Structures are given as structure tokens and as C-alpha cells.
Amino acid sequence: MFTKILTRNFDQPDLHEMEVYEKLGGYRMIRQALRRHTPEEIVQMVQRSGLRGRGGAGFPTGIKWGFIPRNSDKPTYLCVNADESEPGTFKDRHIILHDPHQLLEGIMVSAYAIQSRRAFIYIRGEMAREAAILNDAIAQAEKKNYLGHRIFGEDFDLQIQVVRGAGAYICGEETGLLESIEGKRGQPRTKPPFPAVCGLYGCPTIINNVETLINVPHIVANGPEWFAAIGKDPRNTGPKLYGVSGQVKRPGVYEFDMTITLKELIYDVCGGLTENRALKGVIPGGSSVPILLPEEIDVAMDFDSLAARGTMLGSAGVVVIGEGTCMVRVARRVAQFYAFESCGQCPPCREGTAWLHKILQRIESGGGHPGELDLLAEICDNMKSHTICPLSDAAAMPIESYIRKYRAEFEEHLSRPGCACS
Ligand SMILES: Cc1cc2nc3c(=O)[nH]c(=O)nc-3n(C[C@H](O)[C@H](O)[C@H](O)COP(=O)(O)O)c2cc1C
Ligand code: SF4
């Protein structure tokens, strides 16, 4: 039986008010961190906990923090990735809406660990309400000297600033995000150098996802061994938020350890599909990951089990698709998104995403030609592993999986106009 950790207080009224958060034990963990632990100890604890980034790639957080050069004469920055523009993903905004102080406390402990005195929360422009909630929480914290000079009366200064993006998906990619904060066009940078060494304004920078950071105070308070024991698998530790949407009876954000299976999530937690329709497929981790067929959903919702099934945990945005949905239409819509969001720097991505969209549009409207499914597969192949950032791969991989797994449906669309699904 899993007991909620990150979302345990989300039902409490007025949790965004400092007094409510503190009454429930809030801001104790940052005090403990500042008084009892050195920054290096916290980095080590996070390493030992096995925490992996919740933003998509699953990179071990403590290891990333360890890449910050010691004794640099430049300031170190912490950038919090709250862009959350991946279709099907809405867990981070859920955290911010319900419990902004938990995020601030996560930032405080993490900033102390990497010795960053300046943190930026980069939030997608459309999330105006969430940005206002964060700014209000920051103002409350500044008033009590929980932010600013010598926070909590200890020898550590910290400022947190909210930066609103302008709605570009590519600004969620960590180096696109840095460019955007610097006021430039959001185009990813070539790596190396990696941001931990040369990031924001050329200074050492850590970029972490919102959900990643709210785990950190719990690791400090309860110990890395406690965290590592959650989930039973040493490579997939700690609590995890899943955002489930699409044709399920009870969509929403749910917290479990990573032993929960996709099947349990859909049928036991979300009550199965609306109108009890049959399942056609599930996107387990946001629009950029390959789809799973109904017979593939008895799989643990962790990084490695999903990788072994040929897909990814990604952003843990689970999109449930029922029978009656046209997969050609799904493919065209996903391709349209990536064609629109490609930043255009790399020809395989710029041209590839545009071609995928054009061809799928033609197939959907009944004007496709025989051989175009193979052409799509070839374009997808050429889009992978040749670009500055992974958006190109992220556009190609789901399309490939739709064609491979629902090929008969695509072929049917080629042979006659219109769609048997609608
Ligand atoms: C096109 C693209 C969009 C991304 N969007 C997000 C996002 O909205 N939020 C996020 O946390 N990570 C996003 N990422 C992943 C980030 O580049 C980065 O890996 C992540 O913020 C690191 O945080 P973590 O280690 O805590 O997961 C995106 C990556 C790509 C390639
Ligand atoms: S892969 Fe696409 S989005 Fe990423 S840098 Fe290249 S063109 Fe831009």
C-alpha cells in the first residue's frame, strides 16, 4: 500500500498560504538542511537516494549536481523547468497550483546543495495563473526572510525569480530554456559544453524539473535509504506523479511508487475507459514517446520497464486512446505539433517534421499514395540522432510506432478517402 508523499496535502484548503503550509510541517526541511548538513552532504544524499530527473530523460539528479565545478569564481544558477509544454503532460502545473511552497522549499534545499544564490523558475507563458501563484508564494517567503539575505537567519542568501516563456515547446529543452531566460530566441545550444559547466550567462547551471526538486527535501528529512526503498527497484526509486488523460473515466494526476503498472493505472485507478469502450492504445509518457498496444500495458510505470517495451516514461503523461479513434488522425495531429514547434536550426528536424505532417495530412484526407508509409518510415529514420537536440527524435519515434502498430489502418486510408473510424 503506497502512502502519498508529494501530494499528501493537496486536499488541504488554502495550502498556497504560508501559514497553512507551515502548520502542516512546511519549511522544516530547509531549516534542517541549513543547520545540520553541508551542501556536499546533501549532494551525496541525493546521489544515494537514486532520484532520477522527472522531466523526461531520467538522468540521476545527484550525479548531475556533482558536475558543477568546485571553486569556480563564477556564480552558480539553478533553473527550474516548469515549461511543461509536452502534449498530455500536466503534473507540474498541478504541483504549482496546489502546493507552491513545496516547490519553493525544494528549490531552497537544492540551491543550498549546489551553492546557488539565484534560482529562476521558467514557466510556460500560458500558465498565467500558476505564475501568479508562484509570485505570490515568493512574496510571502521574502516577507518572512525565507528568501533574500541570510535566509532563516543562516549563512545562505537566495533569490528566486519567475520567468514566463512565450509558449514555445522548445524552450522546455534545457538549453533552449537558458537562451530564452537570457532574452534570446529559444533555440537549443550544441553540447558540450554542458550547462553544469557553462550554462546561464556562461556560468555553471543546473536545470531540474519541478517534480524532481520537490523530492529533495523529503530525501534530506527522511534519509536517502528511505527514498531508495520506495519502489523496491534501486534504479527506479521514490514517488512518482502520473498525469492520466484521454478516454478514461477518472482522468487526473496520481501519485504512486513506480511499481504500479500501466494496466492498474488505467483500470483500477482511473476506472477504465469511458462508456466501457475497448482500449486501442496508450501513450505512456507524453506525445513524444512510442505508443503501446492493449496487450503491452501490463508493465511497471518506471524508466527501465518501459524502455524494455520500446517506449519511455518520458513526462509520465499517460494518454489513453479508445477504440473508434482514428490512428491516422492521431499521427497527423502529433506530426502537426512537432512541425509547428521545431526551432528550425537542423535540416533533418525542420524538413523532416514538415514532411511528416504534409504526408500524413494527405493520407488522412484520402489523397495518399502507395509507398508513402515506407517513405514516412524512411523520413523518420533520417530524423534520428542527427540533430542538436532530441526534438527531432521525439517527433519521429511516435510516428514510427503508430505506423508499425496500426499499419492496416494506415493502408486502409491509402486505399480510400475518408475514415472507417468516424
Ligand atoms: C523538446 C524538449 C522539450 C522539453 N520540455 C521539458 C519540459 O517542459 N519540462 C522539463 O522538465 N523538461 C523538459 N525537457 C527535458 C529538459 O531538457 C531537461 O532534461 C530537464 O528539464 C532536466 O530536468 P530533470 O533532470 O529534473 O528531469 C524537454 C526536452 C526536450 C528535448
Ligand atoms: S532538433 Fe529541431 S528543435 Fe532541436 S535544435 Fe534542431 S531544429 Fe531545433
Give me 96's grid cell: 504549482
Which protein residue's CA is at the shortest distance from atom 8 of ligand 2? Answer: 343
Cβ–ligand 1 contact at 341 (below 6 Å): no
Residues 346 and 371 in one domain: yes
Q: Is the pLDDT at 272 greater than 80, yes or no?
A: yes
Q: Is 171 in the pocket of ligand 2 (CB under 6 A)?
A: no
The number of distinct structural domains making up the chain is: 3
In 3D, which of 174, 176, 240 has the Cα closest to residue 212? 240
The per-residue pLDDT for 188 is 98
How far away, in angstroms, is 34 Cα from ligand 1 center?
28
CATH of the domain at 122: 3.40.50.11540
414 CA from centroid of ligand 1 (Å):
36
Q: Is 349 in the pocket of ligand 2 (CB under 6 A)?
A: yes
Q: Distance between alpha carbon 266 and the CA centroid of its chain, in Å?
A: 20
Q: Is 271 in the pocket of ligand 2 (CB under 6 A)?
A: no
Domain at 369, CATH number:
1.20.1440.230
* Domain hosting residue 377, numbered range: 327-415
Q: What's at 382, amino acid-wise?
A: N
Distance CA 268, CA 280 (A): 18
C-alpha cell of 73? 569564481
Please write the tens of the pLDDT for every residue from 34-78.
999 999 999 999 999 999 999 999 999 999 999 999 889 999 999
CB of 56 within 6 A of ligand 1: the answer is yes
Pocket lining: 127 vs ligand 1, CB cutoff 6 Å: no
Ligand 2: residue of 177, 342, 384 to mutate (most ligand atoms within 8 A of CB) is: 342
Closest CA to 76 of 103, 104, 113, 43: 113
- 135: enclosing H helix or E strand: helix 128-143
Asked if 258 and 233 touch (Cβ cutoff 8 Å), the reply is yes
420 lies in some domain:
no
Mean pLDDT across 205-216: 98
Helix, strand, coil distribution of the chain in percent, nearest 5: 45, 15, 40
Is there a single domain that holds both residue 141 and residue 217? yes
Please give the share of the chain, as a percent, with pLDDT higher than 90.
95
Task: Say what the alpha-carbon torsion angle 210, 213, 219, 224 is, to the nearest 10 degrees.
Answer: 100
Do strands 279-283 and 317-322 pair parallel, antiparallel, or not at all (unpaired)?
Answer: antiparallel
Give the CA angle between residues 124, 243, 323 to the nearest 5°. 115
Q: What is the pLDDT of residue 12?
A: 97
Asked, for residue 96, whether it belongs to a domain, the answer is yes
Out of 228, 258, 291, a domain closes at: 228
Pocket test for ligand 2, best of 184, 191, 346, 355 (most atoms within 8 A of CB): 346
- Per-residue pLDDT band at 422 (split at 50, 70, 90): low
C-alpha grid cell, residue 163: 520567468
Domain end position, chosen among 322, 355, 378: 322
Q: What is the pLDDT of residues 363-403, one digit of tens each?
A: 998 889 889 999 999 999 999 998 999 999 999 999 999 99
Q: Quick one: 338 and 393 in the same domain? A: yes
Residue 3 corresponds to which cell in the numbers above? Answer: 502512502
Total-model pTM: 0.97
Rounded Cα distance, 240 and 383, in Å: 31
C-alpha of residue 287 to centroid of ligand 2, in Å = 16
